Amino acid sequence: MATAALAIAPDLITTLHGRPRGHLAVVGIGPGQSAWRTPEASRLIAEADELVGYGLYLDLLGPLAAGKPRADFPLGGEADRCRHALERAGQGARVALVCSGDAGIYAMAALVWELIDTGTVSDAARRAEVVVAPGVSALQAAAARVGAPLGHDFCAISLSDLLTPREDILRRIRAAAEGDFVVAFYNPGSKTRRTLLAEARQTLLQHRPPETPVLLATSLGRPEERLTHRTLATLAVDEVDMLTVVLVGSTQTRRLETGDGPRIYTPRGYARKEPVP
Amino acid sequence: MATAALAIAPDLITTLHGRPRGHLAVVGIGPGQSAWRTPEASRLIAEADELVGYGLYLDLLGPLAAGKPRADFPLGGEADRCRHALERAGQGARVALVCSGDAGIYAMAALVWELIDTGTVSDAARRAEVVVAPGVSALQAAAARVGAPLGHDFCAISLSDLLTPREDILRRIRAAAEGDFVVAFYNPGSKTRRTLLAEARQTLLQHRPPETPVLLATSLGRPEERLTHRTLATLAVDEVDMLTVVLVGSTQTRRLETGDGPRIYTPRGYARKEPVP
């Protein structure tokens, strides 16, 4: 009984203030195609009164977004986007903040919680109910397209130095190389900033062979999807842009040729309990 | 024209052998609940003539699996499970090999490709068309439930030493600690094997404070779902079993109390382009 009373307390409090408690769903819609969007994500968007997000992601929703007021925000300005969504929820609206991939992986969920935590939104916004919906992230879609390169331990590293000092990024890259992780690089480069991927390649080459499989994946799930197989030796940093995910195999990752194209995979173990005979 | 002819060649070849080309879909159904299962995964299962998988995962499919022949395999014996699925596809069947979470993350996809690559299945099985469907993995569902702990660079490490030598696992743990990654531990322990999680805790404590947030997540998406908040100091290895996912924050991960319970998140950057005022 006590538990149930506690669970509804926040609603009661806002109701006493005269408004229903607002609701913010931070929703990951997966990469590109609706076939990778979970039913939970679709439901939360369908139930929302209004949508907030980067215009391209909202466009991907098609009929699901039809008729709903939408606040398009450009890339960059993420704090404004999240603050707007939180304040609308604080005013009692039911809001979906739409992210590509997984809402919690290099997307908006962490920034929403940071704004709530650091007190830079109104008290009403802080009282809104916030839920996060996970989704397929780009590294998973890229991996599935070409086999199973994430079949053993892996890490994800963003190469964007807008929010993280270069020294921290370089330390992560060294750790990934020394730990022999399969690595997924997000935000691997832009026209003006290519050096971090070049440095990552050099660091990884000190710990894995030049023929280590590398995949460049762009526009996953969209008609313009592009998958490019390279190796650490042949990876050219000019081939990537900010929308590319770069997967680099570990020392164990293997490539095979099939009638359907090249496939790469990372075996689950080095030693094995049941040897593949 | 040449490309189109090449693209259909594998089908033509098997048709010349008198059988349509078999099809194996290695499908990740997400953790626990159908609301996290992608439409692609549901479609591939619906289109399959027969299902292969661990019994519990097949049971989770409910009506989607109704009426389809199913080959239940126990936990362990994964190579047998994958080989059976491949051989059935080699015989012309349309097969779905059902995995929990993401098919490519600590699941069956890598083993399927390894069996194809190492020649331990029949030529017919090797000619089957194999597709992999990604899905929400346990680390993502756990993260979404409690905020956004994966908001910055993270890694996934399996603590199972059945397939990987302990020295390799310990090296990965050291690298994750030195690189200050948020860490998701899969297979963190069983009744007979708890020492690796204890060693991981000790290693991480050398690089991050005792109050670093830790989450234990079990049975995600199922009625018996359990989320337990700890810190590195209060993490007790007796609390985990093989079905628990353990998330450990980085030095940047923060915890806040809300009316809906504790939340943890990892800010997207150390420095920031647009300071949260």
A179 neighbourhood in chain B, CB within 8 Å: 155, 171-172, 174-176, 179
pLDDT for residue A57: 87
CA distance A12 to B255: 25
Per-residue pLDDT tens over the stretch B120-141: 899 999 999 999 999 999 999 9
Instruction: Answer whether B11 touches A (CB < 8 Å).
Output: no
Strand partners, A53: A72, A98
Flag if A140 and B135 touch (Cβ within 8 Å). Answer: yes
Distances (CA, A) of A70 to A45, A63, A271: 11, 13, 53
Per-residue pLDDT tens over the stretch A20-53: 789 999 999 999 999 999 999 999 999 999 999 9
Mean pLDDT of the A225-233 span: 98
CA distance A182 to A162: 24
Per-residue pLDDT tens over the stretch A200-218: 999 999 999 999 999 999 9
CB neighbourhood size of A79 (10 A): 20
Instruction: Answer whether B152 touches A (CB < 8 Å).
Output: yes
CA distance A265 to chain B (A): 6
Instruction: Answer whether B268 touches A (CB < 8 Å).
Output: yes
CB neighbours of A18 closer than 8 A, spacing ≥ 6? none
Instruction: Answer whether B43 touches A (CB < 8 Å).
Output: yes
Instruction: Answer whether A261 touches B (CB < 8 Å).
Output: no
Flag if A175 and B175 touch (Cβ within 8 Å). Answer: yes
* Minimal-distance CA residue of chain A relative to B162: A273
* Minimal-distance CA residue of chain A relative to B255: A117
Amino acid at A51: L
Amino acid at B78: E
CA distance B5 to A98: 41
Distances (CA, A) of A132 to A32, A109, A113, B179, B181: 19, 7, 10, 27, 21
Task: State the first-to-last Cα distance of chain A, in angstroms, to the nearest integer.
Answer: 59
Sheet of B129-133, strands arranged across: B70-73, B50-54, B94-99, B23-28, B129-133
Higher pLDDT, A119 or B116: B116
**Which candidate in A152, A245, A263 is best for mutational testing of the B interface (most B CBs within 10 A)?**
A152
CA distance A62 to A90: 27
pLDDT for residue B192: 67
Q: Which of A182, A191, A189, A199 is nearest to A161 (CA)?
A: A189
Instruction: Answer whether B257 touches A (CB < 8 Å).
Output: no
Flag if B132 and A152 touch (Cβ within 8 Å). Answer: no
Contact B248/B205 with Cβ under 8 angstroms? no
Read out DSSP for A222-274? STT-EEEEEETTT--GGG--TTEEEEE--TT-EEEEETTEEEEE--S-SS-SS
Instruction: Answer whether A30 touches B (CB < 8 Å).
Output: yes
pLDDT for residue B81: 93
CA distance A180 to A153: 8
Burial track A148-162 (b if 16+ CB lie within 10 A, e otherwise): bbbbbbbbbbbbbbe
Cα–chain center distance at A236: 24
Instruction: Answer whether A266 touches B (CB < 8 Å).
Output: yes
Instruction: Answer whether A245 touches B (CB < 8 Å).
Output: no
CA distance B77 to B71: 13
- CA angle centred on B157, ends B152 and B163, rounded to 5°: 165
Burial track B83-108 (b if 16+ CB lie within 10 A, e otherwise): bbbbbbbbebbbbbbbbbbbbbbbbb
Flag if B37 and A36 touch (Cβ within 8 Å). Answer: no
Q: Mapping DSSP to helix (H, G, I), strand (E, B) and coil, where does residue A154 land?
A: strand
B260 neighbourhood in chain A, CB within 8 Å: 10, 129-130
pLDDT for residue B18: 57
Is the pLDDT at A259 greater than 60? The verdict is yes
Confidence of residue A225 (pLDDT cuts 50, 70, 90): very high
**Judged by CB atoms within 8 Å, which residues 156-215 of A form the interface with B?**
156-158, 162-165, 168, 171-172, 174-176, 178-181
Nearest to B271 among A109, A165, A276 (CB): A165
CA distance B68 to chain A (A): 23
Instruction: Answer whether A110 touches B (CB < 8 Å).
Output: yes
- CA angle centred on A175, ends A173 and A177, rounded to 5°: 70
B219 phi-psi bin (left φ>0, alpha ψ -120 to 50, beta other): left
Nearest to B109 among A130, A151, A181 (CB): A151
Instruction: Answer whether A237 touches B (CB < 8 Å).
Output: no
Flag if B178 and A176 touch (Cβ within 8 Å). Answer: no
CB neighbourhood size of B214 (10 A): 24
Q: Mapping DSSP to helix (H, G, I), strand (E, B) and coil, where does residue A25 land?
A: strand
Flag if B267 and A116 touch (Cβ within 8 Å). Answer: no
Q: Mapping DSSP to helix (H, G, I), strand (E, B) and coil, where does residue A86 land?
A: helix
β-strand pairing of B70-73 with B50-54: parallel
Nearest to B39 among A34, A263, A270 (CB): A34
pLDDT for residue A111: 96
Q: What are phi and psi of B100, to 5 degrees?
A: -75, 155
**Which candidate in A12, A37, A40, A183 is best for mutational testing of the B interface (most B CBs within 10 A)?**
A40
Per-residue pLDDT tens over the stretch A125-174: 999 999 999 999 999 999 999 999 999 999 999 999 888 899 999 999 99
Residues of chain B with pLDDT under 70: 1-19, 191-192, 269-277
